[in-house]
Amino acid sequence: MDTALRALAEPRRREILRLVWDRERAVGEIAASVGVSQPAVSQHLQVLREAHLVSDRRDGARRLYRARPDTVQALREFLDDYWTSGLSQLRDAAEAAEQSKRSKRRREH
């Protein structure tokens, strides 16, 4: 999970992840889009793959990559929990300061 966060910290990797989001793409295709060398893209894809953020499959001589919605979803939920747990603590503390309780139900949307 930390791997995924570190993978997303790099703007170029977010750009690449965007590209393979709606449809799978070949490495060369990605390299042409982002404007760096093909090895650079391969290295980024390796990082994304190790973070389980993309999946790959062979297509003849090419290799197609695409985003993995399951991992992306899991990461999103992790971040949601990360934030909300902290936010709820803050809100609880603020409320307790003036009158206490009753807002906990409002947090789950």
State the pairing for strand pair 25-26/54-59: unpaired
10-29 positions binding a second copy, by CB under 8 A: 11, 18, 21-23
Instruction: State the minimum distance, in angstroms, from the CB of residue 93 to DNA.
Output: 19
68: nearest Cα among 80, 51, 81: 51
Site residues for a second copy, window 63-82 (CB under 8 A)? 67, 69, 72-73, 75-76, 79-80
CB-based burial of residue 17 (10 Å sphere; 0-12 exposed, 13-18 middle, 19+ buried)?
buried
Quick one: what does residue 104 bind among DNA, a second copy, none, with the CB cut-off 5 to 8 Å set by partner type? Answer: none
Restricting to residues 41-60, name those near DNA by CB under 7 A. Answer: 41-47, 56, 58, 60
